[in-house]
Amino acid sequence: MTTASERNPIVIVGSGLAGYSLVRELRKHDADAPILLVTADDGTSYSKPMLSNGFGKGKDANGLAQATQYSMAEQFDLHLMPHTWVTALNPQAHQVLLGDHWQSYSKLVLAWGAEVVPLHLAGSGSGSVYSINDLNDYRAFRAALTGAECVAIMGAGLIGCEFANDLLLGGYQVEVIAPSATVMPTLMPEQAARALQNELEALGVTFHLNTQVDRIEQVPAGADGGVTLALTNGRHLQADVVISAVGLRPRTELAQQAGLAVNRGIVVNRALETSAPDVYALGDCAEVDGQLLLYVMPLMASARALAKTLSGERSEVLYPAMPVMIKTPCCPAAVNPPPVGAEGHWQVEQDGNHVKALFNNPEGKLLGFALTGRFTMEKQALSRQLPALHNAAS
Amino acid sequence: MKKWQCVVCGLIYDEAEGWPEDGIEPGTAWNDVPEDWLCPDCGVGKEDFEMIEID
């Protein structure tokens, strides 16, 4: 017997890498299930990882677009609603609120991603900071670069460093400001971080570490535009464009309002099931069995498992060790940080800016690594020695 | 010789060219590329590549 709810579509919220990867995988298992994809933007499919190396690849915003919403809808037989915001969830009734219309679903997938951590800066120029988290952001950012010479980047994490390298390749002068003592402090031990910093400096990046931006003031009209950044260490910098790359946090608000379990992200188990029946979360908004990993590999593994589940074969994702590659062409790097709080120590082999840092526990078992330069080639061999992420905790 | 494309970032693996930076010799068939090889641009695995026809 087919109930009314089974005839309702699978509703996917979000057309980023998570939403579209799920669609692609789902259609491999089920050609017929009705799918409604709701997205706040225009539904263009684009390469998210390439937002931070567009200059290196010679691509502008249009170049990063892979398919329009129309061709995605046609290729995967989707009902696609662009420029549509979900404003509430009602898991008991199996409905989501789209504007003033309650849409029923058979299954609901929250794939709405993460947002840039907001900064609360003082000054007349604090509103003109760019954060780049989707294709529209990138388009606006590239437009702002027209005629610009100097870009200031707040944040020296993975994205900050990738943008620094890419903007140098684009011919810009780059200043990086971050409160940490080294670059990528959560991903790399000091020696590897110094190597990467050295290579970026050799290329022309200026780092301002151990300090933060306090105020951003618009340069008075009549001057050449741009802003002045006042740092907490007393220094002042001029820049034409400012980027915030201080990190992302999963979007959890609507899920929380609907009573779903939320921690750092929307809490799901290894089958991507939230605390509400028939509601799933995928990608940057999801905390999967305690793991919050805003990277491509875990997202793709999760999309494959969820596609099977949605087509009737309940499947769990098991995260293997997943190295993260850092797209800094001036100094290739790959990391697989040890679990937070793991006992052990770093052992470092170094030849100039080629660094191989291995994190071993007291029994000598490899738990993580950071590689730069030519040692990056060893990432696969080392990853094979690492415990699976989801087993590491148990 | 065939070509395979990363569905995430569009990178193309050309069997004729291999991927010497990762020690994969020119002429290496897709099946013989190590199972844990990762897309050099975006880091996804082999299962996220699809065969494509390119002239």
Chain A contact for B23, CB < 8 A?
yes
What single string gives the DSSP state of each residue in A257-303? HTT--BSSSEEE-TT-B-SSTTEEE-GGGEEETTB---SHHHHHHHH
What distance in Å separates residue A293's CA from the closest CA in chain B?
Answer: 14
Residue A119: HSE in the Cβ half-sphere, 13 Å Cα cutoff: 24
- Which residue reads 């340069």 in tokens? A219
- For an interface test with B, the pick among A45, A46, A50 (most B C-beta atoms closer than 10 Å) comes out as A50
Task: Pick the residue from chain A with its C-alpha nearest to B10.
Answer: A47
Nearest CA in chain A to B45: A297
What's the pLDDT at A392?
Answer: 45
- Least CB–CB distance from A296: residue in B10, B23, B44: B44
Q: Does A374 touch chain B (CB under 8 A)?
A: no
Please indicate whether, in this complex, the C-beta atoms of B47 and A304 are within 8 angstroms of each other.
yes
The pLDDT of residue A127 is 78
**What does pTM read for this prediction?**
0.92
Of A64, A91, A111, the closest CA to residue A306 belongs to A111
A48/B8 CB distance under 8 A: yes
Share of chain A above pLDDT 90, in %: 88
pLDDT at B42: 84
The tens digit of pLDDT for each residue in A105-121 reads 999 999 999 999 988 89
Cα distances (Å, whole numbers) of residue A223 to A128, A145, A228, A240: 17, 18, 12, 12
Segment holding A304, helix H or strand E? helix A296-310
B9/A contact by beta carbon, under 8 A: yes
Q: Which residues in chain A come in under a pLDDT of 50?
A: 1-2, 392-394
* Complex prediction ipTM: 0.83
Digit-coded pLDDT (tens) for B4-40: 999 888 889 999 999 998 889 999 999 999 988 989 8
Residue B54 clears pLDDT 90, i.e. is over it: no
- Interface check for B42 against chain A (CB to CB < 8 A): the answer is yes
- Chain B residues whose CB is inside 8 A of the A24 CB are 7
B43:A297 CB<8 A: yes
* Residues shown for chain A: 394
Q: Residue B55: CB partners within 8 Å, gap ≥ 6? A: none
